[in-house]
Structure 1
Amino acid sequence: MRKRQIKSTSESIRGWSAVVWLCCAVLGVLIMVGCVEKQESGDGREDILELDIAEVRRWVVPAEGSGVPAPRSITIGPDDQVLVLDNGGRVLVYSKDGTFLKRWDMPTNEDGNPEGACWLRDGRIVVADTHYYRLVVFNEHGDVVEMRGEKSESGEAGKYIFPVDIVQDKEDGRVYVAEYGGNDRVQVFEEDGSYVMSFGKMGTGPGEFQRCAGMFLRGDEVWVADAVNGRVHIFGKDGGFRRMLGQEKKIDDISSNGEIDVIAGSDDGLRRGPWGELIFNYPYDIAEGDDGVYVLEWGGGRFVKVGFDGEVKGYYGEPGSKLGEFRTPWGIGVDSRGKLRVADTENRRIVEVVLE
């Protein structure tokens, strides 16, 4: 399976034979003149197009003792700073160009590590302390200034099983918290922490979740990744379900129990559910770009770019540890310049990707 060459500031290619160099040069010329390859999937279908990549960089997270923790969350903040959560219970902050700026520790991580964070519009940072059933609010120096929430398996308002991601509406200040573990839903709070409402529930139908994951807000919509069901759901800010990413048929037009059995594949290489919705391979995070959404596949070792209308634009990555490969990637973010950052979790690195 052939791949495009991509530039890397952290690796160089050595030891290739003259024949291989010649083949790669010819391939490069074909790409430059607009010849686009498709890959064959195992069942003979054409797989989706690879995205054109201009540059890839790898950032190494700081060591902790004799080991290097694994990053598992990416959040883009003011001035395109990059906030990273890792499985060492650390909060790491980088500049937009990858310079390490500061770090601090979560109050504890003996029971598990956080999975999502958000820069609030007042400059504070709130972290979904997933396995402690709470939100932890830090000031810019890393001091804890507030904790919100506690455990509840009965779905009480303002309490959690596993809070996994947080976003804030920069206009009205409302905070949206995605949660999984049985209370699979999104809770909404005013900026002061007072409860507003919740939407979504555990299940396999439209607007239902099995492991809520990443979120973003777009206009008057809330986009939520649904990891186990493999979908991306879209709600209104009023909590009403609207559609699933790629959905081609109205809910009432299909007689279905909502199960995620794959109905069909398609030429774009992704699977389709009962309503024509796109089925991803464990989408653990999503990020909004200028012209589409980036869906990070934890199970697929790649991210997929999809237009807001559901048209698949292409993908980048595959499982592995080499350049252009990911192992259980957990978080993704896009900055104001369109640069993507991926938490390449099992490879213990942050990967910066610049598209053509």
Structure 2
Amino acid sequence: MRKRFSSGVILLGLAGCGGGGDGPTGVTAPPTPAPPTYTVAGSIAGLKSGGMTLASGPDKLAIPAAATSFTLPTALLAGTAYDVRISDQPPRFTQQCVVANGSGTIGSANVSNVAITCTSQTALVSTLAGNNNPTKQPTGPAAIFNEPQGLAVDANGNVFVADRKYGRIAMVTPSGTVSTFVGATPGQAATEAELAFGYADDIARDQAGNFYVVGKHMVRKISKEGVVTTVAGADEIGFADGPGAQARFNTPLGIAVDSAGNLYVADTLNLRIRKITPAGVVSTIAGGGARGAADGAAAQASFNNPYGVAVDKAGNVFVADTLNGLIRKVAPDGAVTTFAGHVADTDAGDGPGVKATLKQPADIAIDGDGNLYVAELGGKVRTITPSAYVSTIAGQYGLNGFGTTDGVGSIATFRTPHGIALDAAGNLYIGDAGSGRIRKIIQQ
């Protein structure tokens, strides 16, 4: 009996030590630590003005002028690829930057050897054609123009000039030889149709090689073969939207065409921006007819003699709002904002967006990267980056800047540069209205 009792006590003790029942199940394991991440950084040498934007994967980093280093905002896991590139260069014709050691795969340490080097670029201005000597002929290698304004360039590098007071479209070859493409050649007998062409204020070229010209309150089309037809308007002042023949304009001075064939017109004295569809229907996309500088939706916005227009790949229309000294942006929904410049008499020079000064911007060209190029009646040629930083390419203000001097940057002088266009290589052409010359600007 004593032996059985002892055995029972032992069994009871073992049962009391068991892990069953409602008691705790044990200690929770600690969390797994997050894997380490590493940064991508590097050096910057020679960045003087305007800044730039770097990109790698989803990262975009704005780099200010005079920066000497950078670190991308997103840290990366080991084994992740990176590819640092320049998505927005500094202002063209001023600097060019390149990246070394920009791509690779993250290892077990921060990356710090990406190197960006920026070198200075200059704008060289030369005279392609024209002079203000009245004894010269209107065609040939020593031709004259009479207020050359708007310009367009074809795929072969020929420059087509809206030769305003001669009422013609002139063609300038890459070697500088001038001929009359459409309209009357001054000093020669002309047909009634040639004489009727009248003033030619601006010209644009579509992807099919057709040209569009504004002048005499009309928008006209010139086929590749030189056949002229009226797209919209009539030889009378007015304001009306609608089908081409019913539409009316008041001294339109600027025209641009998008990739879909829509035309955009700076209807200067109506203080509006107009759109013409490929079917010839005219509508007003911005401006309510009041003189001013108000931003806002479509008709709520106001302009002060807008001269030039350009359109980007996204359908944004940029307007040279001449007497306000502004570059305005019209979004596809009609919302108008001030992109660059400010309404003031003081000269703040180059700089970011609305802090910069522009003096009577008259025409705009735009490249495939979204950079704007502006001809100012005040005597300068400017460039504006997609982030709205304004820089001077060539020319100068004041009496010292009123001339015909060729040369580099601010050494060059103009006489009321009015028109501007780009060729496929990125060279600029200026309709220097006051000097009767076509000027060419190359980057070197």
Q: Does TM, scored on the shorter chain, surpass 0.5? A: yes
**Structure 2 matches for 1:249-260, cutoff 5 A?**
260=343
Q: Which residue of 2 aligns with 1:296?
A: 375
Separation of aligned partners in 2, 1:94 and 1:147? 25
Separation of aligned partners in 2, 1:54 and 1:231? 23
CA 1:349 to 1:236, structure 2 compared with 1: closer, same or farther past 3 Å? Answer: same
Residue of structure 2 aligned with 1:83, choices 147, 150, 160? 160
Q: Which residue of 1 aligns with 2:311?
A: 217
Q: State the structure with more CA Rg.
A: 2
Q: Which residue of 1 aligns with 2:230?
A: 146
CA 1:116 to 1:76, structure 2 compared with 1: closer, same or farther past 3 Å? Answer: same
Q: Which residue of 1 aligns with 2:427?
A: 339
CA contact (8 A) 1:80 1:96 kept: yes
Shift of 1:145: 3.0
**Structure 2 matches for 1:17-166, cutoff 5 A?**
51=94, 52-53=121-122, 55-61=124-130, 63-64=137-138, 68-86=145-163, 87-96=165-174, 98-100=176-178, 102-105=180-183, 107=193, 113-129=199-215, 132-150=216-234, 151-157=236-242, 158-166=247-255
Q: Which residue of 1 aligns with 2:391?
A: 313
1:246 aligns with 2:323: no
The amino acid across from 2:199 in the alignment is: N
Q: Which residue of 1 aligns with 2:39?
A: none
Separation of aligned partners in 2, 1:54 and 1:271? 18
Flag structure 1 segments of 5+ consecutive residues without an equivalent: 1-33, 38-47, 248-258
CA 1:194 to 1:154, structure 2 compared with 1: closer, same or farther past 3 Å? Answer: closer
Separation of aligned partners in 1, 2:217 and 2:123? 41
1:350 aligns with 2:438: yes
**Structure 2 matches for 1:191-202, cutoff 5 A?**
191-201=278-288, 202=290
Deviations 1:278-331 (A, max 9, x none): 4411100111134621221102x1111221212123331122222211001110
Separation of aligned partners in 1, 2:287 and 2:355? 18
Aligned length: 292
Shift of 1:155: 4.5
CA 1:54 to 1:238, structure 2 compared with 1: closer, same or farther past 3 Å? Answer: closer
Shift of 1:189: 1.7
Shift of 1:343: 0.9
Shift of 1:238: 2.7
**Structure 2 matches for 1:265-276, cutoff 5 A?**
266=348, 269-270=349-350, 276=354
CA 1:103 to 1:74, structure 2 compared with 1: closer, same or farther past 3 Å? Answer: same
Shift of 1:277: 5.2
Shift of 1:147: 4.8
Separation of aligned partners in 2, 1:277 and 1:110? 45
**TM-score, structure 1 length as denominator?**
0.71
Partner of 1:295, secondary structure, is strand
Partner of 1:280, secondary structure, is coil
**TM-score, structure 2 length as denominator?**
0.58
Over aligned residue pairs, what C-alpha RMSD do you find? 3.4
CA contact (8 A) 1:74 1:331 kept: yes
1:189 aligns with 2:276: yes
Separation of aligned partners in 2, 1:54 and 1:120? 28
The amino acid across from 1:216 in the alignment is: A
Separation of aligned partners in 2, 1:111 and 1:229? 31
CA contact (8 A) 1:245 1:278 kept: no
Residue of structure 2 aligned with 1:322, choices 405, 417, 423? 405
Greater relative contact order, per chain length (Cα 8 Å cut-off, separation 6+): 1
Shift of 1:350: 0.7
Residue of structure 1 aligned with 2:330, choices 235, 238, 253? 235
The amino acid across from 2:307 in the alignment is: A
CA 1:145 to 1:153, structure 2 compared with 1: closer, same or farther past 3 Å? Answer: closer
Shift of 1:354: 0.6
Partner of 1:78, secondary structure, is coil
Separation of aligned partners in 2, 1:277 and 1:244? 11
